[in-house]
A and B are shown apart, each in its own frame.
Chain A
Amino acid sequence: MSSSKRSTIIVEQLRKQQMLEALSRGKRLDGRDYDLYRNLEIEVGIIDKASGSAKVKLGNTEVIAGVKVETGEPFEGLENKGALIMSAEVLPTASPHVEPGPPDEDAIELSRVVDRGIRESEMLDLDKLALIPGKTVYTVFVDCSIINSDGNLLDATSYAVVAALLTSKFPVYEIQEDKVVNTGKTMPPPITTIPISITAVKIGESVLIDPTTEEEACMDARITMTTQSDGSIVAVQKGFTGPFSINQIVEFSEIARIKGEEIRSKIKELNSG
């Protein structure tokens, strides 16, 4: 082990001690309560060329999502459904530690967990996005770029996807003589529900929601829970090496429902405004 590596580990341990010490007094290092989100700002329609787009700022974490709609072949076994394809990339702008190149396992997990919340909630009614069954369907791409990273990328990315989809305008395709034609008109997407993910980390015995990078560096475990509009849970992902107790999970599911509703009402305002 090189000396620089060893000193990094010592710094990490000192940080963790400092954080545990603060938590033992019931305080987070940034002064927030355990169940408080950082300031959430959502701006929609920032990319004219996209069918829908959103920029989410969660504290210093900043994510942009863009929706592109095309037509294409359906997935195998889902011949009568539109195709939803999501990706997330942590850009090298996001922090000094990101190297450009193929996504690492954290980035792959990020995009898959965000995808799961949206897909499993059936937020987009894919049955309404088939054109010629078995042949041509709507293909909806949602791509996310993480611009600045300061923890809880999972939630920030998920909110960006939801906000972008919710405020998007899909092109209307028509079938004329067995061919798919873009009519130049647009329609609102077939939205059925609004999935909201809530993430927390466990440090020692404390469970903190909306973790910062600093808190994620000290975490023993992480949990993400996605609820839909009626309060039911549609996706869960436990991450990192430590465990959660059943009690902690049950308590957290309640927090995920309550906090999810808070954030959902904020996102709903985007469409009414």
Chain B
Amino acid sequence: MYSLKELTLLDENGIRSDGRGINDLRSIKITVGVVKNADGSAFIEFGKNKIIVAVYGPREVHPKHMALPDRCVLRCRYHMSPFSTDTRKNPAPSRREVEISKVMRESLEPSLILSDYPRAVIDVFVEVLQADGGSRCAGINAASVALADAGINMRDLVSACAAGRIADNIVLDVNDLEDKEGDADMPVAYMPNLEQVTLLQLDGKLTTTQFNECLNKAITGCKAVYEIQKDALMKKYFGNEMELKEEA
């Protein structure tokens, strides 16, 4: 049984089921400003994940009693479209989605200067159009870019990436199959300039050494993602200037 797992998830040459090596990220593409009505938005393709994020706010809080006198309320909704998964997902929010909404909010909040917007609310809507393992990380990446696009004052971007274990190997950026069949999955979100971890979860068994390796590997992934996030924002706001520079 165990050897079968190794065979399908990771072959003797260190090649994974989708053709990647153990330190490879899936392909990532971020587009900024995709939802016209939103104050900020982003679309991320992270492997086969396709996620759209729209940010509305800062705006007035409804219901009013939720407002805080000294700072802004951050709300986050993570939701999967019924057609995003292998078997149709019931559109009603599941317990899993409620939890992910919460951890996403908590991973984004440290990056934002919420005291700049007292009595207001910022809504972050994360819609997973297609899920492929690691959708919470991909969602956080897009959400942070969308918050920047909305012009929310922030200390840093939040970049997220998972690492995991297949048998004795620590692998970067766990995909759907590896999440289900692998031995551990650790999603991490990180503020690269402040060097702070804002999300850390783990499903599965790791030794202390493996844990450290896994965490470091995930953070390497976060740093790579950070460059892609920056590029996406630069492209929207300085697109022409960047092209001019390249020509020169």
Interfacial residues, chain A to chain B (CB-CB below 8 A)? 46-50, 53, 60, 62, 64, 66-68, 70, 87, 89, 91-96, 99-100, 141, 143, 145, 147-150
Complex CA gap A87/B83 in Å reads 11
CB<8 Å pairs between A and B, sample of 27: A47-B84, A47-B130, A49-B83, A49-B130, A60-B36, A60-B37, A62-B36, A64-B81, A66-B81, A66-B82, A66-B84, A89-B91, A91-B79, A91-B125, A92-B77, A92-B123, A93-B35, A93-B38, A93-B41, A93-B52, A94-B37, A95-B37, A96-B59, A141-B82, A143-B88, A150-B36, A150-B37
Residues of A contacting B38 with CB < 8 Å? 93, 148
Query: A68's contact among B37, B62, B88, by CB below 8 Å, is which?
Result: B88
Smallest CB–CB gap between B150 and chain A, Å? 12
Cβ–Cβ contact B85 & A49, under 8 A: yes
Known: A93-B52, A145-B129, A149-B37. A87 touches B91 (CB 8 A): yes
Residues of B contacting A89 with CB < 8 Å? 91
Query: A141's contact among B35, B50, B54, B88, by CB below 8 Å, is which?
Result: B88
Query: B82's contact among A60, A87, A92, A95, by CB below 8 Å, is which?
Result: A87
Query: B56's contact among A49, A53, A62, A96, by CB below 8 Å, is which?
Result: A96
B168 within 8 Å of A (CB atoms): no
Cβ–Cβ contact A93 & B88, under 8 A: no
Smallest CB–CB gap between B86 and chain A, Å? 6
Known: A87-B91, A95-B37. A143 touches B82 (CB 8 A): yes
B208 within 8 Å of A (CB atoms): no
Known: A68-B88, A87-B82, A148-B35. A48 touches B48 (CB 8 A): yes
B127 within 8 Å of A (CB atoms): yes
Apart from the given pairs A48-B130, A66-B84, A145-B127, 19 other A-B contacts in the complex at a CB distance below 8 Å: A46-B50, A47-B84, A47-B129, A48-B48, A49-B48, A49-B130, A68-B87, A70-B87, A87-B82, A93-B35, A93-B38, A96-B59, A100-B77, A143-B83, A143-B88, A145-B81, A148-B35, A148-B36, A150-B37
Closest 3 CB pairs of A and B: A66-B83, A93-B54, A143-B82
Give the most central of A47, A49, A70, A93: most B CB within 10 Å: A93
Cβ–Cβ contact A47 & B83, under 8 A: yes
Q: Which of B81-104 contact A (CB under 8 A)?
A: 81-88, 91
Smallest CB–CB gap between B209 and chain A, Å? 36
Q: Which of B62-120 contact A (CB under 8 A)?
A: 62, 77, 79, 81-88, 91
Smallest CB–CB gap between A162 and chain B, Å? 16
Smallest CB gap from A91: residue in B: B127
Known: A49-B130, A93-B35. A147 touches B52 (CB 8 A): yes
Residues of B contacting A68 with CB < 8 Å? 82-83, 87-88
Residues of B contacting A99 with CB < 8 Å? 62
Residues of A contacting B48 with CB < 8 Å? 48-49
Cβ–Cβ contact B81 & A148, under 8 A: no
Smallest CB gap from A143: residue in B: B82
Cβ–Cβ contact A47 & B37, under 8 A: no
Give the most central of B50, B56, B86, B88: most A CB within 10 Å: B88
Give the most central of A60, A62, A87, A147: most B CB within 10 Å: A147
Smallest CB gap from B39: residue in A: A96
Cβ–Cβ contact B37 & A49, under 8 A: no
Complex CA gap A53/B84 in Å reads 11
Complex CA gap A46/B129 in Å reads 9
Known: A68-B88, A100-B125, A147-B127. A50 touches B83 (CB 8 A): yes
Q: Which of B13-51 contact A (CB under 8 A)?
A: 35-38, 41, 48, 50
Cβ–Cβ contact A143 & B91, under 8 A: yes
Smallest CB–CB gap between A117 and chain B, Å? 20
Smallest CB gap from A67: residue in B: B83
Smallest CB gap from B56: residue in A: A96
